[in-house]
């Protein structure tokens, strides 16, 4: 057996202990009930694009709090009047929703798209989340000492409300909504699949928010912000690890019941393969894993075609690892 074969075999067996706090289910039940009761206060306004084949709307809605979350709601301007499937997209850390034209590949496949900003990052969306303790650089250490005030809680609820908004749109078939994203967006995809019964399937590319107790020690990505926070405040380590555990897909993987497509790079130092496999190995729903042995924090080759094939498959299809 080659080293690469051994490495992959070890990862397929990697199953670290869950770090779930005792009140995890109670916490999410209360959070979801609060979100469901909150009005979206949404606004949908038609806008123009560079393509005559895109029907575009600028959308704002309120997610976790009163922060207006910005999004692009896009429909193919062709193909009839029937209800369409929709892909709800979450971007990677520090990014933004970009521009309508960049989603032309999905629109050409007949999918509607709802692409949102993650609050406070590189898009057009601000962040009204209150803060009662200092932060290190970036965003994830905001409210990091308490799961109720955590930035992760806010962005997770923002994502859940985006799916709720999509299901209410008259052009969309609520039974054919998919969630998708890479890195941070992949983590939000897994969280949404675990916490919402709306999505029919999900695509989590090189996902973050997985096995975060391992990541805070080893990742070169966003979790270095949490590591720096603990370096400055060593006495806060237990509180930080406890907060992270509420938003770790490792502790919610068994709740995923819809088909999911996951990708991983074996040379990824941001979302390390250990973190991705730790979650993937616990998912009991129909699942597919695309392994890129020589990739870091990116996918390559015909990956979009693989994603498109997964999107176009019937939701009940069971896929094999590749």
- Write down the pLDDT at residue 322: 53
Give the whole-number percent of the chain exceeding pLDDT 70.
Answer: 98
Residue 93 known to bind ligand: yes
Going by pLDDT thresholds of 50, 70 and 90, the confidence category of residue 141 is: very high
263-281 CB burial, b ≥16 within 10 A, e <16: bbbbebebbbbbbbbbbbb
Q: What is the spatial distance between Cα 161 and Cα 42, in angstroms, rounded to a whole number?
A: 11
Q: From the candidates 42, 117, 248, 268, give the one annotated as an active-site residue.
A: 268
User: Torsion angle of alpha carbons 26, 254, 178, 98, nearest 10°?
Assistant: 70
Q: Which one, of 58, 71, 62, lies nearest residue 97 by Cα?
A: 71
The sign of the CA dihedral 32, 37, 38, 44 is positive
What is the H or E stretch that residue 188 is in?
Answer: helix 184-195
Give 87's DSSP letter.
Answer: E
pTM (predicted TM-score): 0.96
- Write down the pLDDT at residue 4: 86
CATH number of 23-312: 3.40.50.1820
As beta bridge partners, residue 203 has 180, 261
pLDDT tens-digit profile of 101-113? 999 999 999 999 9
Q: How many CB atoms lie within 10 A of CB 299?
A: 18
183 is catalytic: yes
Task: Provide the residue ranges of all domains of the chain, joining segments of one domain with +.
Answer: 23-312
- Write down the pLDDT at residue 80: 78
Q: Which one, of 189, 176, 316, lies nearest residue 252 by Cα?
A: 189
297 is catalytic: yes
- Write down the pLDDT at residue 315: 62
Going by pLDDT thresholds of 50, 70 and 90, the confidence category of residue 226 is: very high
- Write down the pLDDT at residue 167: 98
Q: Radius of gyration of the chain from Cα atoms?
A: 19
309 is catalytic: no
CA distances from 168 to 40, 79, 86, 127 (A): 11, 21, 12, 25
pLDDT tens-digit profile of 160-178? 999 999 999 999 999 999 9
Q: Classify 40 as helix, strand or coil.
A: coil
- Write down the pLDDT at residue 9: 94
Q: From the candidates 183, 196, 245, 263, give the one annotated as an active-site residue.
A: 183
Going by pLDDT thresholds of 50, 70 and 90, the confidence category of residue 321 is: low
Residue 317 pLDDT greater than 60, yes or no: no
Pairing between β-strand 43-47 and β-strand 54-62 as defined by DSSP bridges: antiparallel
Residue 158 pLDDT greater than 60, yes or no: yes
Please, are residues 107 and 74 in contact by the beta-carbon 8 Å criterion? yes
Mean of the pLDDT values across residues 129-139?
A: 94
- Counting beta carbons within 10 angstroms of the beta carbon of residue 187, is it exposed (0 to 12), middle (13 to 18) or buried (19 or more)? buried
pLDDT tens-digit profile of 201-220? 999 999 999 999 999 999 99
pLDDT tens-digit profile of 46-87? 999 999 999 999 999 999 999 999 999 999 999 878 899 999
Q: Classify 31 as helix, strand or coil.
A: helix
What is the H or E stretch that residue 6 is in?
Answer: helix 3-12
- Write down the pLDDT at residue 320: 53
Residue 308 pLDDT greater than 80, yes or no: yes
Q: From the candidates 196, 222, 248, 297, give the one annotated as an active-site residue.
A: 297
């Amino acid at each position: 057996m080659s080293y690469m074969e051994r490495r992959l075999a070890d990862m397929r067996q990697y199953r670290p202990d869950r770090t779930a706090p005792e009140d995890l289910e109670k916490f999410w039940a209360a959070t979801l009930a609060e979100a469901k009761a909150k009005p979206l206060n949404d606004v949908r306004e038609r806008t123009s694009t560079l393509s005559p084949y895109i029907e575009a709307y600028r959308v704002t809605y309120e997610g976790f709090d009163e922060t207006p979350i910005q999004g692009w709601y896009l429909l193919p301007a062709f193909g009839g009047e029937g209800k369409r499937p929709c892909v709800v997209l979450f971007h990677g850390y520090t990014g933004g929703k970009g521009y309508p034209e960049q989603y032309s590949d999905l629109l050409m496949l007949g999918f509607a798209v709802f692409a949102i900003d993650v609050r406070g990052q590189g898009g057009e969306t601000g962040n009204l989340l209150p803060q009662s303790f200092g932060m290190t650089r970036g965003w994830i250490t905001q409210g990091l000492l308490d799961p109720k005030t955590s930035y992760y809680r806010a962005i997770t609820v923002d994502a859940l409300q985006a799916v709720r908004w999509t299901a209410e749109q008259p052009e969309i078939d609520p039974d054919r909504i998919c969630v998708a994203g890479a890195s941070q967006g992949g983590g939000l995809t897994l969280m949404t699949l675990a916490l919402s019964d709306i999505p029919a399937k999900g695509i989590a590319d090189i996902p973050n928010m997985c096995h975060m107790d391992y990541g805070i020690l080893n990742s070169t990505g966003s979790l270095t912000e949490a590591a720096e926070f603990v370096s400055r405040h060593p006495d806060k380590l237990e509180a930080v690890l406890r907060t992270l555990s509420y938003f770790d897909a490792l502790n919610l993987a068994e709740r995923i019941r819809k088909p999911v497509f996951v990708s991983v790079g074996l040379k990824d130092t941001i979302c390390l393969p250990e973190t991705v496999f730790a979650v993937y190995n616990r998912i009991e729903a129909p699942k597919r894993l695309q392994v890129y042995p020589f990739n870091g924090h990116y996918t390559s080759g015909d990956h979009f075609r693989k994603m498109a094939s997964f999107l176009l498959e019937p939701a009940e299809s069971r896929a094999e690892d590749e």
